[in-house]
Chain A
Amino acid sequence: MAEMHLKNVSKRWGNFVGVDNFDLHIADEEFIVLLGPSGCGKSTTMRMIAGLEDVTDGEIWIGDRMVNRLEPKDRDIAMVFQSYGLYPQLSVYENIRFPLKVRKAPKEEHHERVMRAAEMVELTDLLERRPAALSGGQRQRVALGRAIVRKPTVFLMDEPLSNLDAKLRVSTRAQIKNLQHKLRTTTIYVTHDQIEAMTLADRVVVMNKGKIQQVGTPTDIYDYPANTFVASFIGSPAMNLVNGHIENGVFSAENIRVPGLRTDISGPVTLGFRAEDVSLAPDGEGELRAPVYSMELLGEASMISYRLGEALVSIKAPKDFRIEIGDEVGTHIPAAMCHLFDADTGESLRLSE
């Protein structure tokens, strides 16, 4: 059990910057999710923690040890890989036992520990099988079992669910959450799926282009995105972003006019609001009035979208609401639900509290 500290960690290949000045303190037993689009440096960060990639600059501390120069095997970590990394020539039992064997754990403990791990990941019936005879979900559970058979200081999980189908992903996700709760091991989890991040994490680290964009609890990140990148990455659908002007507390752009915003700034800004925070307005009213671009039925709601310049703006309407494409309908956007971002830098213009 340990806390971790990544001190200004960077990774460069020649001129290419993979990870730029990554600085993060991770508390003991915390579940951290690194979230970002592919190529944002999240996997590289994790591989540097594991020792599979050299650190160009900065220091990685696990507990009270600086591990930069240590081999992966000496870092006391366990890792679950995207394509599982199972040993095809070994049975499930031997796969789970492998770390005990190569780390020379006392022989008499092996069986008991393998069985305990297998039970936790519900594999006791399949121990004799080879990985090739398992389904994707089962293979994933073998990889998990192999990770928990020891008591490592840190769990690292590199997109462990991305090779599973949608349904399995939900159940395995729940299983991972439950395991981590039971084992109370510090866990770092890499994903590009914001729903996984929201459901699993104690804290989420949103990354883009090698840089940390925002660190916070899932609620923080959802409710107070630090910039337009985070706003457009989190939530489904993502936050609507409209470019326009603010003057005397009134935001305006083509087909949209929102009054009641803060009055201390003026000039070009980006307005953000979430689809579920707004509502349809009665005939002829509403801050946003435009012809409907498309209409999708989601079952629990209807989604209406408008085309405002470059941006596509989505609005959640009651599930029995119907309208023809091209007809006009108004939307009520409460000023309290709006976010403002700097038009150039994309940084949030939230008043500091």
Chain B
Amino acid sequence: MAKSVNQKPLPLVALSTGFVLLWLFLAAFPFIWTAWGSFKVEADFFSRTDWMNALTGPATEAQTGSRFTGDGYYGAWIEQGFWKAVVNSTIVVFCVVTISLTFGTLGGYALARSGFKYTFWLLIAALIFRAMPHVTLVSGYLLPFFEMNIWGYLPTTIIVLVAINQPFTLWMLHSFFLTIPKDLDESAMVDGCTRFQAFRLAVIPVMWPGVVTTGLFSFLLAYNDFTVTSMLLSQENQTMIPKINSFLGSTQQEGKVMYAVAAAVSAMAPLFVLVMVFQRQIVSGLTAGAVKG
């Protein structure tokens, strides 16, 4: 029987499969391990005797009477007030995504449709802005914010995150808008729309995939941010990530490190769901800039 041209040789497939499985293990194991371990006590998760203890959990059974325990979660969420950080995070993330997308779609549309040279310079400036380490910007904010007495509040952080997000959002939405034929808004304008009506009635309805994808990345930026939130928010307004970091300071006491583990797993969970639901959009977003340029 003649071998099909497109069939791959067996060793190649075997080698590839092995490599992929190894990578999968590397990528997923730490998370699974930590998620599993978050339901144990410290003596098991950080077992001096045998790492198998983290799986079976003898110390957990001895201390709590069951093989799984929610102590870490209870301690973090209730005792340490992690729930408040979750609420703050939700507010920050929601506002940042909404405002970023509003600003970004307007600006990205303008950049994609204007034929003038300054659009090029604006995009280059945005690229440079995007490369700025966030902490350098933060060091520029602190003093003026102290002076103006707006340091420590959620709205300040939100607008700062929106601004830091803009260069990226602009680039991404700009490249999505470029894929939408100009004919669409132009025919709307000839049909009787103003530029803004054409944008709202003709362009935005077909832009949803791009907006959703960009929104995901704004979400990730706001959700994952540590630099800005840890420096610009006061203790009581802290969001999740700086809160988790502040747990670490108190990990010397027995059991406290499990609070951090539980909080970290809690913060990871929404991201898992996000990847599961929006896998396609994330992939298309990551490649949006690349395929074009």
- Indicate if A touches B (C-beta under 8 A): yes
A contacts, CB < 8 Å to B: 13, 50-52, 71-73, 77-79, 81-89, 98-99, 102-103, 143, 146, 156
Q: With a CB–CB cut-off of 8 A, which chain B residues contact A51?
A: 189-190
- Contact, CB under 8 Å: B183 / A84: yes
Residues of B within 8 A of A79 (CB): 186-187, 190
Given contacts A82-B183, A89-B206, contact A52 B192 (CB under 8 A): no
Bound Cα distance A146, B193 (Å): 14
Q: Does B197 contact A (CB under 8 A)?
A: yes
**Cα–Cα, bound, A102→B190 (Å):** 11
Complex: how many Å from CA A71 to CA B190?
9
13 new A-B contacts, CB < 8 A, other than A52-B186, A99-B191, are A13-B115, A51-B190, A52-B189, A71-B189, A71-B194, A71-B195, A73-B189, A87-B206, A89-B206, A102-B197, A103-B191, A146-B191, A156-B190
* A-facing residues in B191-249 (Cβ within 8 Å): 191-195, 197, 201-202, 205-206
Complex formed: what's the CA distance from A77 to B193 in Å? 12
The count of chain B contact residues (Cβ–Cβ below 8 Å) is: 19
Contact of A87 with B189 in the complex, beta carbons under 8 Å: no
- How far apart are B262's CB and chain A's nearest CB, in angstroms? 45
Give complex CA distance A89, B205 in Å.
7
- Asked if residues B187 and A81 are in contact (CB atoms below 8 Å), the reply is yes
Residues of B within 8 Å of A156, CB to CB, are 190
Q: Which 6 residue pairs spanning A and B have beta carbons closest together?
A: A85-B187, A85-B183, A103-B192, A99-B191, A81-B183, A89-B205
Is B181 an interface residue when CB atoms closer than 8 A count as contact?
A: yes
Query: Are the C-beta atoms of B197 and A83 separated by less than 8 Å?
Result: no
Set of chain B residues within 8 Å of A71, measured between Cβ atoms: 189, 194-195
Cα–Cα, bound, A84→B183 (Å): 7
Asked if B183 contacts A83 (CB within 8 A), the reply is yes
- Contacts A52-B186, A89-B205 given: A73-B181 contact, CB under 8 Å? no
Instruction: List 23 A-B residue pairs with CB atoms under 8 Å apart, sorted by A's residue number.
Output: A13-B115, A50-B186, A51-B190, A52-B189, A71-B195, A72-B190, A73-B190, A73-B191, A73-B193, A77-B190, A78-B190, A79-B187, A81-B183, A81-B187, A83-B181, A84-B183, A85-B187, A87-B202, A87-B205, A98-B191, A102-B193, A103-B191, A103-B192
B20 at interface by CB-CB < 8 Å: no
